[in-house]
C-alpha cells in the first residue's frame, strides 16, 4: 500500500528533528517524523549502570543494538576494523524517540557570541578549517529563548558575567548546589572566578505539567523515573502529535533519498518495523539523524545528478567531524563529600571559555555527574594498581571523597576527520555503513592542558590532598557531542547548507542537527541543536505560509 504524500518528512526524532516536526506541524504542514528506535522509559533499564548511556559495556539501553548496526573505524595507523554501537569508537548517538535528550545530563548551554565567530575572533589556525558561522548569536538568540521556554530550562545567568546577553530569563529557578559544588564554589570565589549554577533542561519546579526533579544519582545516562528531565520526547514531539498533523513512525530505518529523473528529491526510502521496504514522498525533506547518520544518508543518496551524494558536489559532506575533548582533573579529599544529591553536576565557571592567552577558544569547567561504582573503578591516580587489595581499598575509601572538575574543549575543525560510507560493509538492511577516520587537531591538546591545569588548581584550592589531571588522546573525536559534518555557510564551495540549513543544489532538502555546526563551542551542544531546529523549522514554516513550495 502506498503511503499518502505529505508536506514534510523529518528523519530522526532527536533534539533537532523533534523541534522541526513541532514547528512544521503547528504551522499546518502535514509531517511524518521517522525514528529508527522506539519509545524507551526508565522501567526498561532501571538503575542499571552497565546498560546506561554512559557505560554501554552490555549494550545501549537507548539503542541502537549491536546485532543490526555496525561501523568501520579507520585507526590512526591506517588499519580498519568493525565497531559496534556498544564500543566507544562507534561514536553512538541514542536511537530512540527523543534520542540523547532522554538520557542526557541535560546541560542547557547557549554558545557565546565568539563561538559563532571563531575565525574572526582568533584568526586562521593552520591545518584547521576554522571558520565563522553564517549566523550570529543575535540571529539565534530568540531560538535559544524558544528552546528554553518550550522545552524547559532551570538556571540563573545573572551569576555568570560571561553569559551571552539574553532578552528573557530562564523559565525556572536554578538547582541548588550539592556538597561538592558548595566546596568548589568557595574555592573558585577565593581564586577570583565566577561560579554559577549550571543551566539544566530539567524541572527545578513543576513545569509544563511535569513534576520537579527528584535528584537521583542515576540521571546522566538514564531516563528520568519521574519525567522531570526535559527532552524532545516529552515536550515538542507530543506537541507535534497533538496537532493531528504529525505522524511519528518508530522502528523505521531511512536508507536513502528518492531522486527523480529530473534530479528533484521527492521523498525517502525506508524499512519499516517488519523490515519491509517502503517509500514516503514529501515536498520537503529534513534530515536530522545526527552528525554521523545525516552525512551517511546524504552520501548514500546518489544519482546522475548527485554522483557523489546529495549536497556533496564539492566534497564537504561528512568533513570536519568534531566532538569535544573532555579534559579536567580529579581530586581526593580526606573527608566525606558525597551526599548522593543527583545528578552530581551542579556548578560551573565560564571564566575559561574565551580569550585565554595562547589558546583558541577554551571551555567551561563544571563538577562532574555522579561517578557510579563501575565507572569509578577505572578512576585511579596515575601509577596506581587497577586491581588487588589496594584497588578495592581505594574504591571504598575514596568513592565518597573525590571530586572531578571537567569541561569540553572547543575543538579545531579538521578537514580529514570525516564520515564516509564504507565501500563494502553493510548493516542488516543492506545499507552501506558509516566509515570513520581522522584525528584531533594538535591545537586541541594545548587547550586540554590549559583547562586541565585550571581544574587541578581549583581542586587544590578546595583542599584536595591529592590531584591529577586527565587529558584525552589525539584520536578521532565524535561521541555524543558529534558535530560539523554538514556545515552551514554562504559559499557552496566550502559548506553543505545555506544559513537556514538548506542543502546547496537542492530546493527542498534541509539538515537540522549538529551536522550544521561550523564549530562546536566549548559547551555541551544540545540547546544549540534545539535552537537550530527552531531556526530551520521557523524558516520552512514561514516560507510555506508565504506560498513557497520549495520547488
Partner 1 sequence: MDSGSRISRRDFMKLATLGAGSLSLIAGCAPKHPPGRRVLSDDDAGLLGAIADRIIPPDEWPGGRENGVVSFIDRQLDGPYRRFRGDYRRGLDAMTGTCLEKHRKRFESLSAEKQTRLLGEMESGGLRDGGWKEGFSKRFFEMVRSHAMQAYYGSPRHGGNPDYASYRMMGIDYPPILGQNRYRF
Shortest Å distance, C-beta 390 to partner 1: 10
The burial class, CB within 10 Å (0-12 / 13-18 / 19+), for 508 is: buried
CA atoms in the 13 A half-sphere facing the CB of 351: 17
Residue closer to partner 1 (CB basis): 18 or 85: 85
Q: 168 or 391: whose CB is closer to partner 1?
A: 391
Strand partners, 332: 402, 466
536: closest CA among 82, 1, 18, 170?
18
| Residues contacting 249, CB < 8 A, separation 6+ | 32, 33, 34, 35, 270, 272
Burial class (CB in 10 A: 0-12, 13-18, 19+), 425: middle
**Order of strands, sheet of 466-470, starting from the edge strand that comes earlier in the sequence:** 196-197, 347-349, 365-367, 402-409, 325-332, 466-470
Q: Smaller CB distance to partner 1: residue 219 or 527? A: 219
Phi, psi of 296 (to 5 degrees): -60, -45
- Going from the C-alpha of 551 to that of each of 263, 279, 283, 509, 548, the distances in angstroms are 11, 20, 8, 11, 8
* Shortest distance in whole angstroms from residue 48 CB to partner 1: 4
SS3 content of the chain, % helix, strand, coil (to 5): 25, 20, 55
Closer residue to partner 1 in complex, CB, 82/168:
82
CB of 84 vs partner 1, minimal distance in Å: 9
Q: Max Cα separation, the chain? A: 72
Least spacing, CB of residue 330 vs partner 1, in Å: 17
Nearer to partner 1, 47 or 548 (CB): 47
Smallest gap from residue 422 Cβ to partner 1 (A): 20
Smallest separation, CB 342 to partner 1 (Å): 9
3-state DSSP assignment of residue 411: coil
Q: State in angstroms the smallest separation of the CB of 234 from partner 1.
A: 21
Q: CB burial class (10 A; 0-12, 13-18, 19+) of residue 34?
A: buried
Cα distance between residue 290 and residue 297, in whole Å: 10
Are the C-beta atoms of 495 and 488 separated by less than 8 Å? yes
Secondary structure of 24-67 as H, E, C letters = HHHCCCCEEEECCCECCCHHHCCCCHHHCCCCCCCCCCCCCCCC
The least distance separating partner 1 from the CB of residue 214, rounded to whole angstroms, comes to 6
Please state the φ and ψ torsions of residue 50, each to the nearest 5 degrees.
-75, -10
Please say which residue, 373 or 382, places its beta carbon nearer to partner 1: 373
CB of 373 to partner 1, least distance (A): 4
In whole angstroms, the minimum distance from the beta carbon of 437 to partner 1 comes to 24
Please give the residue ranges that form the binding site for partner 1 (CB under 8 A).
46-51, 57-59, 66, 86, 179, 214-217, 336, 338-341, 373-374, 376-378, 386-389, 391-392, 395-396, 399-400
220: nearest Cα among 480, 39, 471: 480
- The answer to whether 522 touches 363, Cβ cutoff 8 Å, is yes
**C-beta closer to partner 1: residue 67 or 491:** 67
Quote the least distance from Cβ 46 to partner 1, whole Å: 8
Nearer of residues 2 and 396 to partner 1, judged by Cβ: 396
Provide the phi-psi class of 501: left if phi over 0, else alpha when psi is between -120 and 50, else beta: left
Nearer to partner 1, 401 or 499 (CB): 401
Nearer to partner 1, 77 or 274 (CB): 77
Q: Which is nearer to partner 1, 310 or 464 (CB)?
A: 464
Amino acid at each position: 500500500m502506498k503511503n499518502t504524500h505529505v508536506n514534510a518528512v523529518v528523519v530522526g526524532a532527536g533534539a533537532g528533528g523533534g523541534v522541526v516536526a513541532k514547528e512544521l506541524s503547528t504551522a499546518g504542514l502535514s509531517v511524518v517524523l521517522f525514528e529508527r528506535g522506539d519509545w524507551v522509559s526508565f522501567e526498561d533499564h532501571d538503575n542499571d549502570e552497565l546498560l546506561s548511556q554512559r557505560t554501554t559495556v552490555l549494550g545501549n539501553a537507548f539503542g541502537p543494538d549491536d546485532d543490526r548496526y555496525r561501523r568501520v573505524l579507520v585507526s590512526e595507523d591506517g588499519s580498519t576494523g568493525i565497531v559496534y554501537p556498544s564500543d566507544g569508537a562507534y561514536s553512538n548517538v541514542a536511537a530512540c524517540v527523543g534520542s540523547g535528550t532522554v538520557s542526557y545530563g541535560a546541560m542547557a548551554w547557549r554558545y557565546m557570541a565568539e563561538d559563532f565567530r571563531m575565525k574572526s575572533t582568533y584568526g586562521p589556525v593552520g591545518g584547521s578549517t576554522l571558520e565563522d558561522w553564517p549566523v550570529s548569536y543575535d540571529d539565534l538568540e530568540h531560538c535559544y529563548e524558544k528552546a528554553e521556554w518550550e522545552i524547559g530550562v532551570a538556571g540563573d545567568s545573572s551569576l555568570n558575567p560571561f553569559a551571552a546577553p539574553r532578552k528573557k530569563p530562564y523559565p525556572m529557578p536554578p538547582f541548588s548546589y550539592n556538597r561538592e559544588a558548595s566546596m568548589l564554589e568557595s574555592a573558585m570565589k577565593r581564586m577570583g572566578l565566577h561560579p554559577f549554577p549550571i543551566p539544566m533542561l530539567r524541572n527545578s519546579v513543576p513545569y509544563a505539567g511535569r513534576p520537579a526533579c527528584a535528584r537521583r544519582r542515576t540521571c546522566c545516562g538514564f531516563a528520568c523515573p519521574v519525567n522531570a528531565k526535559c527532552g524532545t520526547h516529552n515536550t515538542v514531539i507530543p506537541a507535534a502529535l497533538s496537532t493531528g498533523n504529525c505522524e511519528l513512525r518508530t522502528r523505521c530505518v531511512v536508507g536513502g533519498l528518492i531522486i527523480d529523473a529530473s534530479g528533484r528529491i521527492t521523498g525517502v526510502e525506508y524499512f519499516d518495523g517488519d523490515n519491509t521496504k517502503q517509500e514516503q514522498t514529501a515536498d520537503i525533506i529534513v534530515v536530522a539523524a545526527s552528525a554521523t547518520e545525516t552525512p551517511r544518508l546524504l552520501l548514500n543518496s546518489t544519482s546522475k545528478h548527485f554522483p557523489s551524494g546529495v549536497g556533496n558536489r564539492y566534497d564537504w559532506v561528512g568533513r570536519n567531524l568534531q566532538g569535544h575533548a573532555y579534559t579536567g582533573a580529579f581530586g581526593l579529599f580526606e573527608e566525606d563529600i558525597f551526599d548522593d544529591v543527583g545528578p552530581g553536576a551542579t556548578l560551573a565557571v565560564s571564566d575559561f571559555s574565551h580569550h585565554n592567552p595562547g589558546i583558541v577558544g577554551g571551555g567551561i569547567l563544571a563538577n562532574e555527574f555522579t561517578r557510579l561504582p563501575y565507572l569509578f573503578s577505572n578512576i585511579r591516580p596515575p601509577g596506581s594498581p587497577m586491581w588487588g587489595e589496594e584497588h578495592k581499598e581505594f574504591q571504598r575509601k575514596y568513592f565518597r571523597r573525590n571530586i572531578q572538575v571537567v569541561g569540553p574543549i572547543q575543538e579545531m575543525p579538521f578537514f580529514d576527520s570525516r564520515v564516509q560510507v564504507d565501500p563494502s560493509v553493510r548493516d542488516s538492511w543492506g545499507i552501506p555503513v558509516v566509515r570513520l577516520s581522522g584525528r584531533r587537531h594538535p591545537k586541541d591538546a594545548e587547550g586540554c592542558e590549559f583547562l586541565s591545569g585550571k581544574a587541578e588548581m581549583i581542586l587544590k584550592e578546595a583542599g584536595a590532598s591529592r590531584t591529577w589531571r586527565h587529558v584525552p588522546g589525539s584520536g578521532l573525536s565524535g561521541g555524543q557531542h558529534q558535530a560539523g559534518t554538514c556545515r552551514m555557510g554562504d559559499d557552496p564551495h566550502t559548506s553543505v547548507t545555506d544559513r537556514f540549513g538548506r542543502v546547496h543544489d537542492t530546493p527542498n532538502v534541509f539538515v537540522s542537527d549538529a551536522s550544521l555546526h561550523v564549530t562546536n563551542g566549548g559547551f555541551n551542544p544540545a540547546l544549540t541543536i534545539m535552537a537550530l531546529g527552531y531556526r530551520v523549522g521557523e524558516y520552512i514554516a514561514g516560507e510555506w505560509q508565504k506560498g513557497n513550495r520549495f520547488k
